[in-house]
């Protein structure tokens, strides 16, 4: 994950629900005819980062750890520093039911929006 490339003015071509090409917009426009275009200017599109499972009810977060992983820190190093799954498991165990409900409601609302 430390070797991440960006495609400036990039595009994603999809046919029959499958990603068929990723590359510069000019190249994909020349190769494919679009039935629908979604303007993602100023956004990040990560079609390869599909992770279908989630835990809606949780406490704490590991945003800082994601940044460390992108920079090349190993999961073992993160765990040795007190992070990883143990940190969020501990946060869930320490949270009250009221806190878990309060933190979960906005997530559910966003998923159902």
Distance in angstroms (rounded) separating the CA atoms of residues 14 and 30? 14
pLDDT by residue (tens digit) across 36-53?
888 888 887 776 666 667
What's the pLDDT band for 77 if we cut at 50, 70, 90? very high
What is the pTM (predicted TM-score) of this model?
A: 0.50
DSSP 3-state assignment of 43?
Answer: coil
Evaluate if residue 110 carries a pLDDT over 80. Answer: yes
Bridge partners, 15 (sequence order) = 18
| Res 27 pLDDT > 90 | yes
Mean pLDDT of 3-9: 78
Q: In which residue are the tokens 């590359």 written?
A: 23
Between 69 and 4, residue with greater pLDDT: 69
């Amino acid at each position: 994950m430390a070797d991440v490339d960006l495609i400036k003015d990039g595009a994603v071509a999809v046919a029959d629900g499958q990603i068929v090409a990723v590359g510069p917009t000019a190249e994909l426009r020349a190769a494919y005819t679009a039935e629908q275009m979604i303007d993602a200017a100023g956004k990040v599109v990560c079609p390869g980062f599909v992770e279908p499972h989630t835990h809606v009810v949780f406490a704490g977060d590991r945003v800082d750890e994601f940044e460390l992983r992108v920079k090349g820190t190993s999961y073992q190093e993160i765990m040795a520093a007190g992070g990883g799954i143990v940190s969020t498991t501990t946060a869930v165990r320490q949270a009250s039911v009221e806190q878990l409900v309060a933190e979960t409601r906005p997530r559910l609302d966003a998923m159902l929006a």
